[in-house]
Structure 1
């Protein structure tokens, strides 16, 4: 949802950090997640690294909204899914993020999130979509040649994205069927009026709050991580 852009952007920027110019990073010089190549493409042609270091908050917000959030239809995606897809887009490209989302929900993988994809998303529980998307994203990252150099950071990032996205996702109540066997009525005495039917007992819906899923994901990330 578009109301989540500011929150999602703040989380993305926290993951991206500040200045980076690691020779092993194929993205090259980067400031708060914006590469020098993209800064030259979207803001200032011929910009230097010094220019990139001085990127303003307004320029950052414009780049992230126009070329990542809008590119994955963030304003149309359900709460939580919007952030998970947005972060994926920033980290690995909007087209790839869209295709992986489409694969998760069973839509045509054309890299463009439109009505058909949104309909497929709406048919799945948001928490399930988030979990499966994060799993698929992690599997993709592990296949990259640069995983040995950057894998720990990517893993930590995804370990933060998953619970945050689950916390943002809506609660979808599920009605639990009754486990009690049906009551058999005693036979009425001859000539007696039929007994009134017992009042219906309302079934209390069991609500599975994403908070528990998020806490489980955090604990799994902390205690399930293999030592380096």
Structure 2
């Protein structure tokens, strides 16, 4: 899995500019009504990048951010690329630590939110499909636990469903 392919898939999930007041990610303070409502564009959100001009962000700038801050920093490059993509997409949508800890729980290793050699070794020893399906199940359980599920749950579920289709292609 190359970064370019992962990014192409991701942008299929992440839309143009949105400044939905109900979305905590659209606020620079990370909570509805806290900070400035700057919105989200290409999935780059004001809560994570409060000093960025979100509305005028270009696709090329978003791609650079995803490469530098997410793809390069995830630490999943020793894993099967099908897992790396699923983990990366989950991390972008729910946070790196959350996604990594869910993977670690699936693997039965200490859930510290950091992908180290032990996590990679154990995950790689497991059946690829079992890991992807279990990680996807944990992802859905996480989403359904969120107070914003009634508002955004359909979109999150569609995103996960599309990613399951990618998992079929990747394994």
TM normalised by structure 2 equals 0.87
Q: Are the counterparts in 2 of residues 101 and 133 from structure 1 also a CA contact under 8 Å?
A: yes
**1:20 Cα offset (Å):** 1.1
**Which residue of structure 2 aligns with residue 92 of structure 1?**
94
- Cα distance in 1 for partners of 2:161, 2:140 equals 10
**1:63 Cα offset (Å):** 1.4
**Which residue of structure 2 aligns with residue 20 of structure 1?**
18
**Which residue of structure 2 aligns with residue 181 of structure 1?**
none
Structure 1, unpaired ranges of 5+: 170-228
- Looking at both structures, which has the greater relative contact order when contacts are Cα pairs under 8 Å and sequence separation is at least 6? 1
Paired residue secondary structure (1:18): coil
**Which residue of structure 2 aligns with residue 194 of structure 1?**
none
- Cα distance in 1 for partners of 2:25, 2:62 equals 17
1:82 paired residue among 61, 81, 84? 84
**Which residue of structure 2 aligns with residue 180 of structure 1?**
none
Instruction: Map 1:106-117 to 2 at 5 A.
Output: 106-117=108-119
Instruction: Map 1:1-228 to 2 at 5 A.
Output: 3-28=1-26, 29-40=39-50, 45=51, 47=52, 51-169=53-171
- Cα distance in 2 for partners of 1:8, 1:74 equals 13
Root-mean-square deviation (CA, aligned residues, Å) is 1.4
TM normalised by structure 1 equals 0.66
- Cα distance in 2 for partners of 1:94, 1:65 equals 14
- Cα distance in 1 for partners of 2:64, 2:11 equals 13
The structure with the larger Rg is: 1
Paired residue secondary structure (1:65): helix
**1:75 Cα offset (Å):** 2.4
Structure 2, unpaired ranges of 5+: 27-38
Q: Are the counterparts in 1 of residues 102 and 138 from structure 2 also a CA contact under 8 Å?
A: yes
Q: Are the counterparts in 2 of residues 100 and 136 from structure 1 also a CA contact under 8 Å?
A: yes
- Cα distance in 1 for partners of 2:127, 2:7 equals 24
